[in-house]
Every structure is written in C-alpha cells, then in structure tokens.
Amino acid sequence: MSVRGAEIRERSLETLGRRSFDLLVIGGGIVGARVALEASRAGLRVALVDAGDFGGATSSASGKLVHGGLRYLRTRRFRLVRAALRERSLLATRIAPHLVRPLPVLLYTEEAAWSRYLTAAGLLPYRALGCLRRPRLAAGAFRALPAGTRCGLVQEAVTDDGRLTLATVKAAVRAGTVAANHVRVTALSKHRGKVSGAVLEGREGSFELHCRAVVNATGPWLDYLRLLEDPRRQPAVRLSKGVHLVLPLEGEWRAAMALTLRDGRHVYAVPWHGTVLVGTTDTSYEGDPGSVVPTPTEEAYLLEAASRFLPNDLVRRDRVLCSFAGLRVLRPGHEPTFDASREHLLSVGPAGMVSVAGGKLTTHRPIALDALRALPSEVRPRRLHPCLDPLPGASPPDERALRSTLDAATARHLAELYGGEAGDLLGYAASFPEALDRVHPAGPDLWAQIHHAADEEWAVTAEDVTRRRTTLAVRGLDAESVREGIAAVLAEGR
Ligand SMILES: Cc1cc2nc3c(=O)[nH]c(=O)nc-3n(C[C@H](O)[C@H](O)[C@H](O)COP(=O)(O)OP(=O)(O)OC[C@H]3O[C@@H](n4cnc5c(N)ncnc54)[C@H](O)[C@@H]3O)c2cc1C
C-alpha cells in the first residue's frame, strides 16, 4: 500500500469500528458492491467489507460475457432473457461503456435439439433488443468445423469483471459507503434476536461493527454466514465449479464463439485483453470455496474441447498463459449442475439477515435491488430507484492527452481499463520517474497503474494488482520478480 492507500485504509477501519451503520454488506463481489452503492444512494449509512479482495472470488472468475443467456431460450424463459438483455444494453451504453463493450458471438452447434434456437425465430428476443452484426474474424482463426455444424450470430458484450466490481465499489464509496477489503466477518452479534453487528478480523486485528441490518452477499460462502446467524440452518445452496484457460491471441478476433458439441458439452472462446479465454467446466463442488483451483484434468478437458474448433498449435498445454476457477451458487437439487436454474437465491434468516447469491454478473443490478427490498422495514429505503448513474470512468477518455504521451497500444490499453479516468495515471510521471515504463516488456501495463492501484483502488497484496487491477496475470506476466517489484511499491506506506 502507498502512503495515501495506507491512510485511506486506516481511516476506513477506524470508522467501521467507531460509527454505527444502517447496513453492513458482507462480501464485496459485484452483488455486494452494487447493494452498497444502491443503499448509499438511497440514504443509508453503509459499511462494505470483504474477507479477501473486492471482486476476488467469483466476480473475477466469470466467463466475462454480459449476455442474455441463450440457455434460457431452451427452456422458453424469454422474460429472463429480455431482462438480461436490457441490463446488457444499459451497462454497455450508459452505466459502464468503458468496461462493457459490444461483442458479437458466433454460435455453433452439432446438437440437433439446439439448432432450432439458432434460427431467426429462436433468436427473436435477441433481435428485439440486440443488433445482429456480421463479425470480421482473422482468416484461419478457427479450424474447419465438423460437417453438420449449424451456426448463428448474436450481439452480446464482454467485460472486465474484476474492474467492473472495483468501479462499483468506487461509486459506492463516492456515494458514502465505508469500505474495506481483507477484513473477514467471523461472528454476528444480535440484540433481541435480531442481527445488530459483526466481529471483523483483518491484518490489523479484530474489532466489532454495529449496524441495524445485514446483507450477506458472500456468494459461495453464503451458507457459512447463514450458520453464523443460526447454527441449526440447513444448507440453502450447492456449488458448481467452472474453470477457464487463457491462451495467446493470434491475429485479431472481433467475435467470441460458443460451441455446443454433439455430446452436449458447451465450450466458448472469448477474446479478452489480447488473449483468448476458453471456458468452461460445470461440475459439482463440495470443498472449501477458498481453495477452488483448476486441476490438470479440468485443464486437459478444456484443451480437448477447444481443439474441436481452435487451431491445434494454439491449443496446447505449453501455451496456456493462466487458468482460474470460480464457483456458481445454485439451488439444492438432484439434476446435473448444468441443468440447474441460474436464477439468484434470496432468503431472510430468523435474525433478519438477508442472504443473496447466484444469478449472473449481467443481472447484478436487479439482484442487488431485490436484496434491499428484503431488508427489515425499519431500515428498508422507502423508495428504491435503480441508480442509472454512470460508474467512475464511464466518460470518454482524453485520447489526445493519452496519445501525446504514450504509444497507441498503451493508450488504448489504459482507456480500456480506466475509461475517462485513464488520464489520471499520467500524473504519476511527475512523482515517479519510472511511472510510464512497462512493468513487463511483453505487456502494456505500466508502473503508474501499480501506484494508482495502491492509492485509489484498495490494493493490499501483489495478487490484488496482478489479477484484478492490471492484465499482468491474465497475460502470464506475473513472474516472481514482477510480484516482488509490485510488493515493494505496496509496502511504501506501511
Ligand atoms: C465459471 C463461471 C462463469 C461465469 N460466467 C458468467 C458470465 O459469462 N456472465 C455472467 O453474467 N455471469 C457469469 N457468471 C456468474 C457471475 O460470475 C456471478 O453471478 C457473480 O460474480 C456473483 O457475484 P457475487 O458478488 O454474488 O459473489 P462473489 O464475487 O463470489 O463475492 C462474494 C464475496 O464475499 C466475500 N466473503 C466471503 N466470506 C466472507 C466473510 N466471512 N466476510 C467478508 N467477506 C466474505 C468473498 O471474499 C467474495 O469476494 C459465472 C460464474 C462462474 C462461476
């Protein structure tokens, strides 16, 4: 942490322990961050804490697609698809156009049952809200597909999920939320049977926070918190593990692709920060959510599935830049996890704690509003108008300032990550001579981003920076020496 970052953290922790809050939001993934933002905007005094990093769990391990959810077409849930498409459009045009960008998706299927959804009639909801566009793909990007493969094209969007979460936390803090990451809730306190606070433990020690209501937005940890509220509670969720691999991008892709194989498996490839993201698996998971990592078998499975449509010299174990795993939160049930509903889960416990999880990153705004509507009446905001304000960085970047200082590729990189706030990074050159140098010669991330992450984005560990605030990890550039250099910058304020 920098001197400024350390001061901000110290002040936040001190305020969390001293002040009494209307609402404590536990979990700073995309859902918790949005709950905090909407609640602060509605006038509540809000605290937001995360045991790890903001966006450090599921909300940086998604498939990065902001999409309508074609799988719902199969079960004719057109209303859900329409709602998700509406969200996609709002995020891409108004709320976070710098972080949610239109991307065509080519759909291929070898499976007869799916093929009709690739017809004009099946894609009607998409036609209604999204425009269909002919993508331009690099010649030879894909292998010839097996005979009988049908294809369709839809317009979706791609995001940087980790940075979208950070931008939402930033907006929440600007609206009045007091936020701290790397602080875990280890116990809940009650007054007259109702939840009235929590014990928090972080690197700096433990303390108690007082509040009138709690939203449990801990994603895969939902049941752990429910047990803190009531040790007799039965599990409300089951988990499904999804793994992604990152491969180098060759040529320029202007579309993602999603393939349904004859055996029913689904696999997709998404161009992302100069790489190709290949996903995903969908298998039941019963271990500790904090220990979820890709296994060699899962990586081999994805490479084999991807080899059906990507060139063989790309889809090789030795070309994998990085891999990661996340956990979907699903309703309990006996059906295979792939067939389980992807709708979010919401419940109110005996002590009044609102627990919310699951759903999609795409629909995190309506999910957050649902959670706030379930708050105890004495805390619930009277009127909840969904906040349509643009997130920090949503205004267009000052291209001239960026281009006059940086090469075109680096300027574009900063604009993609920081949008209208990209220009702020140039200011670090005045204090740090190396600020505009690359952290690693093979990637566009600059040292200014590391200083900015420490000062303005709550970065505490080197991993916070490499995985969620820059593209170093996804590009496979987070070598030991790079992490040590970043840790040295973060240590300046301690
Ligand atoms: C493999 C996969 C692919 C996906 N792809 C897509 C996609 O392409 N598009 C899409 O729209 N959606 C996708 N999703 C869904 C999307 O990622 C999730 O819906 C969303 O990220 C859930 O966010 P969340 O805030 O509920 O949970 P999380 O992001 O998991 O946040 C929960 C937070 O709670 C914190 N926490 C836990 N315990 C405590 C505690 N005791 N004290 C304090 N904090 C605590 C954790 O540290 C964590 O940061 C995908 C999900 C998976 C798993």
For 235-287, write each residue's pLDDT tens digit: 999 999 999 999 998 888 888 988 887 777 789 999 999 999 999 999 999 99
Can you tell me the distance from the alpha carbon of 158 to that of 206, in angstroms, rounded to the nearest whole number? Answer: 39
Q: Based on the domain organization, do 152 and 254 belong to the same domain?
A: yes
Final residue before a domain boundary, out of 330, 364, 381: 330
Atom of ligand 1 nearest to the CA of 184: 42
Q: With contact defined as beta carbons under 8 Å apart, do 182 and 203 qualify?
A: yes
Is residue 442 over pLDDT 70?
yes
Range name among 6-20, 22-36, 246-260, 403-417 with the lowest pLDDT average = 246-260
- From the CA of 260, how far away is ligand 1's center (Å)? 25
Q: How confident is residue 131, by pLDDT bands cut at 50, 70 and 90?
A: very low
Q: Based on the domain organization, do 487 and 405 belong to the same domain?
A: yes
Atom of ligand 1 nearest to the CA of 218: 34
3-state secondary structure of 382: coil
Residue 203 maps to a domain: yes
Closest C-alpha residue for ligand 1 atom 50:
62
Count of CB atoms within 10 A of residue 366's CB?
Answer: 17
Atom of ligand 1 nearest to the CA of 282: 1
Question: What lines the ligand 1 site, CB under 6 Å?
Answer: 26-32, 49-52, 56-59, 61-67, 184-185, 217-221, 242, 280, 326-328, 357, 359-362
The mean per-residue pLDDT over the stretch 322-332 comes to 96
The mean per-residue pLDDT over the stretch 201-224 comes to 97
Residue 63 maps to a domain: no
The domain tally of the chain equals 3
Q: Based on the domain organization, do 131 and 186 belong to the same domain?
A: no
Report the Cα 471 to chain-centroid distance in Å. Answer: 14
Domain interval for residue 470: 399-491
Amino acid at site 327: L
Q: Based on the domain organization, do 134 and 183 belong to the same domain?
A: no
Beta bridge partners of 396: none
Residue partners of 199: CB distance under 8 A and separation at least 6: 185, 186, 187, 188, 189, 206, 207, 208, 209
Residue 385 maps to a domain: no
Q: Based on the domain organization, do 297 and 195 belong to the same domain?
A: no
Can you tell me the distance from the alpha carbon of 243 to that of 279, in angstroms, rounded to the nearest whole number? Answer: 6
Report which of 155, 166, 99, 162 is spatially closest to residue 128, judged by C-alpha positions: 155
Q: What is the DSSP letter of 318?
A: G
Report which of 61, 34, 32, 84 is spatially closest to residue 342, judged by C-alpha positions: 84
Residue 336 maps to a domain: no
Instruction: Give the CATH number of the domain where residue 246 resides.
Output: 3.30.9.10
Q: Based on the domain organization, do 134 and 214 belong to the same domain?
A: no
Can you tell me the distance from the alpha carbon of 386 to that of 84, in angstroms, rounded to the nearest whole number? Answer: 15
Residue 128 maps to a domain: yes
- From the CA of 114, how far away is ligand 1's center (Å)? 28
Q: Based on the domain organization, do 320 and 262 belong to the same domain?
A: yes
Atom of ligand 1 nearest to the CA of 243: 1
Q: Based on the domain organization, do 13 and 136 belong to the same domain?
A: no
Residue partners of 178: CB distance under 8 A and separation at least 6: 12, 15, 16, 19, 21, 46, 47, 48
Place of tokens 């959810």: 69
Residue 11 maps to a domain: yes
Instruction: Give the CATH number of the domain where residue 355 resides.
Output: 3.50.50.60
Closest C-alpha residue for ligand 1 atom 19:
360
Q: Based on the domain organization, do 104 and 226 belong to the same domain?
A: no
* pLDDT tens for each residue of 51-92: 999 999 999 999 999 998 766 766 667 777 888 999 999 999
Report which of 176, 126, 134, 180 is spatially closest to residue 156, judged by C-alpha positions: 126
Q: Based on the domain organization, do 406 and 487 belong to the same domain?
A: yes
Amino acid at site 383: R
Q: Based on the domain organization, do 222 and 290 belong to the same domain?
A: no
How far lies 486's CA from each of 21, 204, 280, 323, in Å?
34, 21, 31, 21
Can you tell me the distance from the alpha carbon of 447 to that of 451, in angstroms, rounded to the nearest whole number? Answer: 7
Can you tell me the distance from the alpha carbon of 141 to that of 277, in angstroms, rounded to the nearest whole number? Answer: 14
Residue 83 maps to a domain: no
Q: With contact defined as beta carbons under 8 Å apart, do 5 and 469 qualify?
A: no
pTM for the structure as a whole: 0.94
Residue 88 maps to a domain: no
Place of tokens 């920076």: 465
Q: Based on the domain organization, do 153 and 298 belong to the same domain?
A: yes
